[in-house]
Structure 1
Amino acid sequence: MVETHTSAPYGRSARTGPQGADAAGVERVAPWWPWYVARLTITDAVAIVVAVGVAYVVRFDSTAAVSGDFSPSYLAVSGVLAVAWLTALAATRSRDRRIIGTGPVEYSRVYSATWRLFAVVAIVAYLLKMDVGRGYLAIAAPLGLAMLLAGRYGWRQWLHRQRDAGRMQLGVVVIGHRQKVDRLIRDLHGSPRAGYTVVGVCIPSGEVAVGETVAGVPVLGSMEDAARIAGTTHASAVAVTGSDAITADTVRRLGWDLEKSHVDLALTLSLVDVAGPRVTMQPVAGLPLMYVDEPQFTGAKYVAKTVFDWTAAAFLVVLLSPVLVVIAAVVASTSRGPVLYAQERIGKDGRHFRMYKFRSMVADAHDRLADVLAAEGVTEVGPFYKPRHDPRITPVGRVLRRYSLDELPQLFNVLRGDMSLVGPRPQIAEEVARYDRTAQRRLRVKPGLTGLWQVSGRSDLSVEAGVRMDVSYVENWTLFNDFLLLARTAKAVLMRNGAY
């Protein structure tokens, strides 16, 4: 069992010895996840009980029973459903320490556990000839799912704040050649919200002497010492990077050494930006082969995305019609020029279309572009360039841009089929002409009102980081991730992250 150090609250690095370090001079990261998982469990239980309770109270009185050959009371059904729901969340490992706090997998498992549970309920009700009220299920399922996701989101935001402060980290021992170890350490420490702190390094014998450091982390021994070092540093995982010296037999023996230690064995791969659904592990002749499916850009899921886009856009146009009218009136009354600004953009597979926005600049903005570039000292405009201080923007336009209200007319582009709610942002022909092979992948799907780039920093991100995010979205998207990106978009707009 991994030892818990109560002197390090919230998983802060605990140290012993006169200089705050143990005999090896290594930070010990106290495990924080048991009590964090316990709080997640309590929050999940409260959400489920409330959802089932509301469905019961709204739809039935205390004596109501399910009709059919088998007719238990709805109170009993509610109790069984609540227990089964909590069991399903545990069975799908939705509170696994390796997925909580980062990425969409945690949310995806909550969603998967919920819809599968209610699918089983429907099947059981049919087999037992139970006529469970549709209204009861129609309240319990969506309300419970919404509350579960809201609870997980709230705890994740709290966890992010703790990790930003250097707490709530999982200790990792890294094994491999110096260059690859250095890169992995910098990647992990450059993303504190991922929740990993490298507490020690093991290098093949003869590369680096024990006591030296790699990227600021001490070398504690050779690869043969990894299991022992993971125990002495109370690490949660051992990460193995690619190395000629690390053979299949070496990794297997390391796995044996880590048995019953509650320390995970993780193997890093050079393959990046490939999501789990495209990866299949298959043992062949005793070797684990990883198959990577090619990205799909047609099929049933794209039909579902199109239906969702059109339905959601139509609903939003109706809902926001008063806002659209007010914005149009304000734009028309405060500056000279048309209310809408239309510009030709490049869409899916290089098709041209006219994209609409509320006009946020003066009428002669295009003629003044050279002056703006000269003022910013820009001699050549590359792809994705956007002036940070653009005097052509009107006072009303600045407010519209700050909250992304100028983008609302693109809902009509979605209704026309030119755009999607979520996808890479569309660009003009001159910018697309400068695309390299990587950026060209952005054109494999419809452009979107929002996307992974926009919710991850928008204009504050570098071009390289933004393109990588867009390509990752294009090749790995799911409808569930679209829902998450839309939710993150609302937060990014309210926080005005990277908007100018």
Structure 2
Amino acid sequence: MVVDASLTFLALYLAVIIRPFLPEFPYLVPVSQITLAQILYLIVPSVWVLTFLLSSVYDPNRIYKITDEVQTIVIAQAVASLIFAGILYLGFREFSRWLFATFFVFNTVFVLGWRILIRGIFRLWQPPSRRRRVLIIGAGKIGRSVGSMMQNYTRTGLELVGYLDDNANKNKIESAILGTVSQARHVVEKYNIQDVVIALPQRAYGQINKLTITLHDLPVHVRVVPDYFSLALYRASVNDFGGIPMINLRDPALNDVQRLVKRLFDLVVGSFVLLVLTPILLLISLLIILDSKGSVIFRQERIGENGRIFRMFKFRTMVLDADSHRDEITEINPSNGRILFKKRPDDPRVTRVGRFLRRTSLDELPQLFNVLLGDMSLVGPRPELPWLVDQYEPWQRKRFAVPQGMTGWWQVNGRSDKPLHLHTEDDIYYVQNYSIWMDIYILLKTPWVVLRGKGAY
């Protein structure tokens, strides 16, 4: 807070100094010097710190990842600027608009820049953290996931000592099982444990009360990882309801602000790209007409966000009776008898022009109209065929928690080399880690992947 207040003060001070030296711009009135009310040097830092405080900029749980921190700061910066503009309108109307703009630019660079700098310093040289020895009770899937994450973040000072589990057959995991659940107190005292994480399956929840009573007088922190998060469509959250903690399993993947930003981004970028590519779209349409019979645009029912069915547009790349040959490219998974659909480079249904369009991914361009209509987004999991969705496992349906996209995390990490409906882990990773910065990264990476042509056919 002190650094933010100091940098905001500095940004205002520099803006006042630089204002007389700004080059000529439209509506810029030349001034020899700026005289600013001294009270503003107190008001402005206070507004910024209070707004940041109320916007959870200083909450470690909200800014653990740099993408979350940047997004939170950008929103808080916008809110603080609106409040400042209101204060200027009510009491300081002589404040220059160009001075306001200069201050805003300086302040944004300062409050973001010093955080990025500090993160870089910590990445290159992180001071030693106070060690905390951790014991995980439960060596099942949940416990192993917690342990694996803990070992990936050893720089935070967490040291996984081992597990407790009543199933001796789980000794093959990387960290040893130190005993049974009933030996928790003895193990905590013997290995000088500071943190205990209870990660038992639902059927063993009766032991939690007993464990809590057993450890209540020892100097350890006890945390419980509920075995309900696998049921969550997106990421489960814990809310306080009159002092009662409640786990929300159906939180939306995108909050209202993220959804608004994503939609505005789609409209602005999608409209610009469509305008630029119009000559190419017309040329491709002509080539399709000359190559084979049929319509230029192929419309196909796909599953969109939250299971909604819509008609997706593509340039036609197949012969007219392509659906009658679908059995030639499907296989039966011998493990579960399900139909396995995987794109093939030798698909007999693809036309000559269609093969080129698929290799270059130009057949996907008409989906820009789906983006503008709101059926799709520029970035997101690919909209799936209804007959494939019918064979999804329940966990795979989580990929429909966000708008489906023209390109996505899956496409820039393997594309058609992976079966469409059996490898949705990449899509779910995108859902669980969404940010507008991730969308921008995927869009920037997509042209390189397309040019390589890997997995496109």
Q: TM-score normalised to the size of structure 2?
A: 0.63
1:280 to partner: Cα distance: 0.8
Instruction: Choose the corresponding residue for 2:357, options 393, 397, 405.
Output: 397
Superposed CA deviations along residues 100-149 of structure 1, whole A, max 9, x for unmatched, are 66485434443454344335434554665566445554565578658866
CA distance 1:439–1:253, change in 2 (3 Å): closer
Which residue number corresponds to residue 5 of structure 1?
none
Cα separation, 2, equivalents of 1:225 and 1:95: 39
Specify the code of the residue in structure 2 equivalent to 1:106: E
Which residue number corresponds to residue 25 of structure 2?
none
Alignment of 1:92-111 (within 5 A): 102=65, 105-111=68-74
Specify the code of the residue in structure 2 equivalent to 1:292: N
Specify the code of the residue in structure 1 equivalent to 2:173: A
Cα separation, 2, equivalents of 1:188 and 1:346: 33
- Whether the aligned pair in 2 keeps the contact of 1:310 and 1:415 (CA below 8 Å) is no
Cα separation, 1, equivalents of 2:217 and 2:78: 36
CA distance 1:368–1:293, change in 2 (3 Å): closer
1:413 to partner: Cα distance: 1.4
Which residue number corresponds to residue 355 of structure 1?
312
Cα separation, 2, equivalents of 1:182 and 1:297: 25
Which residue number corresponds to residue 416 of structure 1?
373
Superposed CA deviations along residues 223-256 of structure 1, whole A, max 9, x for unmatched, are 3367668868xx8x65332354443873895697
Instruction: Choose the corresponding residue for 2:437, options 464, 477, 484.
Output: 484
1:454 to partner: Cα distance: 5.2
Instruction: Choose the corresponding residue for 1:176, options 137, 161, 165.
Output: 137
Superposed CA deviations along residues 406-457 of structure 1, whole A, max 9, x for unmatched, are 4332221133343344554323332244345555676677543355655776
CA distance 1:207–1:421, change in 2 (3 Å): closer
Which residue number corresponds to residue 238 of structure 2?
279
Cα separation, 2, equivalents of 1:131 and 1:230: 67
Specify the code of the residue in structure 2 equivalent to 1:179: G
For structure 1, list consecutive stretches of 5 or more residues without a partner in the other structure.
1-40, 259-263
Which residue number corresponds to residue 434 of structure 1?
391
CA distance 1:184–1:458, change in 2 (3 Å): same
Specify the code of the residue in structure 1 equivalent to 2:291: R
- Whether the aligned pair in 2 keeps the contact of 1:306 and 1:420 (CA below 8 Å) is no
Alignment of 1:66-465 (within 5 A): 66=36, 71-72=37-38, 77=41, 81=44, 102=65, 105-122=68-85, 124-125=87-88, 128-129=91-92, 132-138=95-101, 141=104, 173-179=134-140, 183-184=144-145, 187-188=148-149, 199-203=160-164, 215-219=173-177, 222-224=183-185, 238-242=196-200, 244-247=206-209, 250=212, 257-258=219-220, 266-272=223-229, 273=232, 279-282=238-241, 284=243, 288-292=244-248, 294-295=250-251, 301=256, 305=259, 309=263, 312-313=266-267, 315-326=269-280, 328-329=282-283, 332-333=286-287, 336-337=291-292, 340-347=297-304, 352-359=309-316, 370-373=327-330, 382=339, 385-387=341-343, 389-390=345-346, 392=350, 396-401=356-361, 406-421=363-378, 423-435=380-392, 447-450=404-407, 463=421
1:200 to partner: Cα distance: 0.9
- Whether the aligned pair in 1 keeps the contact of 2:410 and 2:427 (CA below 8 Å) is yes
CA distance 1:156–1:61, change in 2 (3 Å): same
- Whether the aligned pair in 2 keeps the contact of 1:182 and 1:214 (CA below 8 Å) is no
Specify the code of the residue in structure 1 equivalent to 2:441: R
CA distance 1:381–1:397, change in 2 (3 Å): farther
Specify the code of the residue in structure 2 equivalent to 1:63: Q
* Fraction of identical pairs, as percent: 20
CA distance 1:129–1:181, change in 2 (3 Å): same
> Partner of 1:269: helix, strand, or coil?
coil
Cα separation, 2, equivalents of 1:173 and 1:341: 57
- Whether the aligned pair in 2 keeps the contact of 1:424 and 1:450 (CA below 8 Å) is yes
- Whether the aligned pair in 2 keeps the contact of 1:282 and 1:291 (CA below 8 Å) is no
Cα separation, 1, equivalents of 2:287 and 2:73: 49
Cα separation, 2, equivalents of 1:123 and 1:48: 18
CA distance 1:322–1:297, change in 2 (3 Å): closer
- Whether the aligned pair in 1 keeps the contact of 2:381 and 2:405 (CA below 8 Å) is yes
For structure 2, list consecutive stretches of 5 or more residues without a partner in the other structure.
23-27
Superposed CA deviations along residues 348-372 of structure 1, whole A, max 9, x for unmatched, are 6766543223456678866665555
> Partner of 2:311: helix, strand, or coil?
strand
> Partner of 2:219: helix, strand, or coil?
helix
1:277 to partner: Cα distance: 8.7
CA distance 1:245–1:175, change in 2 (3 Å): farther
- Whether the aligned pair in 1 keeps the contact of 2:57 and 2:72 (CA below 8 Å) is yes
> Partner of 2:375: helix, strand, or coil?
coil
Which residue number corresponds to residue 493 of structure 1?
446
CA distance 1:413–1:439, change in 2 (3 Å): same
> Partner of 1:201: helix, strand, or coil?
strand
Specify the code of the residue in structure 1 equivalent to 2:84: V
> Partner of 2:33: helix, strand, or coil?
coil
Cα separation, 2, equivalents of 1:275 and 1:348: 13
Cα separation, 2, equivalents of 1:465 and 1:170: 38
